[in-house]
Amino acid sequence: MKKSHAVPKLSRRFFGTLLLAAASASLAAVQPAGAADAWPSKPITIVCAFPPGNASDLIARVLGEQLSARLHTPVLVDNRPGASGIIAASAVQKAVPDGHTLLMTSTSFIINKSVLLKVPYDADRDFTPVSLVNAIPAVLIVDKSSPANDFKELLAQIRQRPGKLSYGHPGAGTIQNLSMKLLLQHVDANVLEVPYKGSMQAVTDINGGSLDMMFEAANSVYTLVQSGRVRALATTSPTRYSMLPEVPTLRELGIDETVVGFTALMAPAGTPPEITARLNKMVEDIMKMPATQAREKTMGLENFPPMSTAEVGTWMKQEASRWENVARVANIPKE
């Protein structure tokens, strides 16, 4: 099978509103160019919701370096991890919307309102999209010695022993948790939920036999699959994950759903659309560079197909609504 390091298609629901997004993009294109002509007038800061050394932090630094070269101005990365991305998002929300402060964030940015009681920002109202940077599917894993050799066998075991098997996740409302909730809603099955403080502790328990299964971010777990420490039964991507091409997607297995976590570049609401459009094109060009893609491959990251700022906004709204519904049906209490 030919390997690909891009996600070539998204959920069919996305394309249902593509014309609306294109119309919005056309309106943005006729805005006056004055703000973009004067930009940038000072250093740009990318406020990063990830700690230094994290894969998304490293990509933020690649973007910063390449944007700096194109814009002939310093681009700094300011790491503000913690609180499911709220610390970083709150800082950018309060920034002047002039294109000099950007946010590098993740899927929790749009999920938080569905699982947290207090989120000091509105992802739709208080921010404007720049670009989707990386696509990160989830992988369903079991221990290498699990009696389930494939997804069909695992599903049979779940149905034979309702409420007896267990799955782990690194916190309520995380993409790992919601991916399992979505799957269980589809197959109408009951599996014991075991929350952890971090994914690697859950993986350790899978290896130790005290936990049966979990979804984990593909870029975090693919090396464990390749080394034989765990067994991958399915991925949530629209097409097979490039680093594990032998693992089928949920769609191939009869579950008509995809789950694609993301990293995205955002700007404060009110940032001139000509600036965000210019940034969007620059990010697209940077992510196409062979050097960037080689760097991504070492971290197990994939790219989204090119999208305008309006298309990004439409997709994010759809995803936020989708996860809100999953959380509601699963009765996930807000914390």
Question: How many whole angstroms from its chain centre is CA 192?
Answer: 25
Average pLDDT, integer, range 307-325: 96
- Whether the pLDDT of residue 21 is over 70: the answer is no
pLDDT, residue 282, reads: 98
CA distance readout (Å), 239 to 18, 71, 302? 21, 35, 12
pLDDT classification of 35: cutoffs 50, 70, 90: low
Average pLDDT, integer, range 138-163: 96
- pLDDT (tens digit per residue) in 275-308: 999 999 999 999 999 999 999 999 999 999 999 9
CA distance readout (Å), 201 to 148, 182, 231? 21, 23, 17
pLDDT classification of 335: cutoffs 50, 70, 90: confident
Beta partners for residue 52, in sequence order:
none
Q: Which of 4-8, 129-133, 206-210: highest mean pLDDT?
A: 129-133
pLDDT, residue 173, reads: 83
Give the separation between CA 328 and CA 49, rounded to whole angstroms: 26
Q: What is the pTM of this model?
A: 0.86
CA distance readout (Å), 217 to 73, 130, 255, 275, 284? 34, 23, 19, 32, 23
- pLDDT (tens digit per residue) in 200-248: 999 999 999 999 999 999 999 999 999 999 999 999 999 999 999 999 9
pLDDT, residue 8, reads: 43
- Whether the pLDDT of residue 111 is over 90: the answer is yes
pLDDT, residue 27, reads: 45
CATH topology of domain 137-235: D-Maltodextrin-Binding Protein; domain 2 (3.40.190)
The burial of 37, by beta-carbon neighbours within 10 Å (0-12 exposed, 13-18 middle, 19 or more buried), is given as exposed
Give the separation between CA 23 and CA 1, rounded to whole angstroms: 38
12-136+262-329 is classed in which CATH architecture?
Answer: 3-Layer(aba) Sandwich (3.40)
Tell me the H-state helices in the chain: 12-15, 18-29, 34-38, 55-71, 86-93, 108-115, 151-160, 175-187, 199-208, 218-226, 273-288, 290-298, 309-329
Q: Which amino acid is at 156?
A: A
The closest of 231, 237, 195 to 217, measured between CA atoms, is 237
Return the higher-pLDDT residue of 175 and 281.
281
pLDDT, residue 25, reads: 45
- pLDDT (tens digit per residue) in 153-169: 999 999 999 999 999 99
Average pLDDT, integer, range 44-58: 96
**Please, where in the chain does CATH 3.40.190.150 lie?**
12-136+262-329
Give the separation between CA 185 and CA 183, rounded to whole angstroms: 5
pLDDT classification of 2: cutoffs 50, 70, 90: very low
pLDDT, residue 176, reads: 93
**Please, where in the chain does CATH 3.40.190.10 lie?**
137-235
What percent of the chain is predicted at pLDDT more than 90?
A: 83
